[in-house]
């Protein structure tokens, strides 16, 4: 059984179709990243799965339960890091984490969780005195304190410095190793590539592509970009057979090929190409 199952989900706000028939299965223990431009429908889809919003039609199941009918025992198996931080009044970091631990039947050790998000030095600081990135780390601590089976992360690392982001990835890697199912929304493609087994690209309320980060959008079979420098300046060529081109270049230059690089499309290149293709299809559809 999938930990998360979504079939043909739709949601409309006034005359705006925010979700236009989304279907997605997330296997037990899998991490799937939702990618997509601002306003694509990622938060709407996630919040329906968390039971915070109603879908207009379609089917959603999380741990086998329709989120609209989830009871407290079901909710205790979820960890949620929303896009915006919760209001924690004047609680310190430790007070907040201990407070939230009480809601769960088998919480993790609060001090261990605080350490795992790198906030030990701020244990006694009031939450409203934390920096933006530190506050976000506290949100993550509150999301994982209950040892969730399914963890929803909506742009969890916004405001993190690069070191904090790496530390966060280690924390998520550890949760994955323990079998936690994760639905991650992020605008950081490197993060999706590092953490997710599959990525789903959402645009205009629809999933336009879903595959492993290395295969999505034909990335693994896409053209390589070979660049070098010759007397005419910087050169670059797209090719399906980079080895042949490099051999050709090697015979042209007496020694090393100047500034040679061979690059496969990054996840970002592929993601942007998918969105361009989607925009072209929408335009052509609108014209016909
Ligand atoms: P972002 O990357 O900016 O977080 P998103 O993909 O999460 O975007 P959503 O927040 O799901 O996008 O919003 C999808 C669309 O629905 C947007 O056009 C948004 O303006 C609209 N929308 C979201 N919530 C509401 C609401 N409560 N009322 C009306 N429109 C809404």
Where are the chain's structural domains? 2-217, 222-287
pLDDT bucket at 44, cuts 50 / 70 / 90: very high
For ligand 1, mutation pick of 19, 33, 39, 275 (most atoms within 8 Å of CB): 39
pLDDT at 29 over 90: yes
Tokens of 124: 């006694």
CA nearest ligand 1 atom 25, residue? 13
Instruction: Output the pTM of the full model.
Output: 0.89
Phi, psi (5° rounding) for residue 88?
-110, 20
Domain 2-217 in CATH: superfamily? P-loop containing nucleotide triphosphate hydrolases (3.40.50.300)
Residues near ligand 1 with C-beta < 6 Å?
13, 16, 18, 36, 38-44, 83
**Cα 38 to ligand 1 centroid, rounded to whole Å:** 8
In the reported structure, the alpha carbon of residue 207 is separated from the centroid of ligand 1 by a whole-number distance in angstroms of 15
Helix, strand, coil share (%) of the chain residues, nearest 5: 40, 30, 35
- Between the CA of 48 and the centroid of ligand 1 the distance, in Å, is 12
Whether 200 shows a pLDDT value over 90: the answer reads yes
Buried b vs exposed e over 145-154: b needs ≥16 C-beta within 10 Å?
bbbbbbbbbb
Cα–Cα distance measured from residue 33 to residue 210, given in angstroms and rounded to the nearest whole number: 10
Residue 222 DSSP code: S
Q: Which of 273, 276, 274, 193 is nearest to 238 (CA)?
A: 273
- Ligand 1 atom closest to the Cα of residue 14 is 29
The rounded percent of the chain whose pLDDT value lies above 70 is: 100
Asked if residue 181 lies in contact with residue 31, where contact means CB atoms within 8 angstroms, the answer is yes
DSSP 220: G
pLDDT score, position 288:
67
pLDDT for residue 57: 97
Interval 139-164 mean pLDDT: 91
């Amino acid at each position: 059984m999938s930990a998360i199952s979504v079939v043909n989900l739709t949601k409309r706000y006034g005359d705006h179709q925010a979700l236009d028939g989304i279907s997605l299965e997330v296997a037990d223990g899998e991490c799937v990243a939702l990618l997509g431009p601002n306003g694509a429908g990622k938060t709407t889809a996630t919040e329906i799965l968390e039971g915070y919003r109603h879908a207009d039609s379609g089917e959603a199941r999380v741990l086998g339960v329709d989120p609209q009918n989830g009871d407290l025992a079901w909710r205790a198996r979820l960890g949620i890091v929303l896009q915006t931080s919760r209001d924690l009044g004047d609680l310190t970091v430790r007070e907040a984490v201990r407070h939230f631990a009480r809601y769960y039947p088998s919480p993790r050790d609060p001090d261990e969780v605080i350490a795992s998000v790198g906030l030990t030095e701020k244990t006694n600081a009031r939450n409203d005195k934390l920096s933006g990135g530190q506050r976000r780390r506290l949100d993550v601590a509150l999301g994982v304190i209950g040892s969730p089976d399914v963890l929803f992360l909506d742009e969890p690392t916004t405001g993190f410095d690069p070191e904090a982001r790496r530390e966060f990835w280690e924390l998520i890697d550890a949760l994955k190793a323990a079998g936690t199912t994760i639905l991650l929304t992020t605008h950081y493609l490197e993060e999706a590539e590092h953490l997710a087994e599959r990525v789903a690209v959402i645009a205009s309320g629809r999933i336009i592509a879903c595959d492993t980060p290395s295969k999505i959008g034909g990335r693994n079979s896409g053209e390589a970009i070979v660049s070098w420098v010759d007397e005419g300046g910087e050169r670059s060529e797209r090719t399906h057979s980079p080895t042949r081109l490099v051999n050709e270049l090697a015979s042209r230059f007496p020694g090393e090929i100047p500034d040679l690089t061979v690059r496969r499309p990054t996840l970002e290149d592929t993601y942007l190409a998918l969105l361009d293709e989607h925009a072209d299809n929408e335009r052509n559809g609108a014209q016909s």
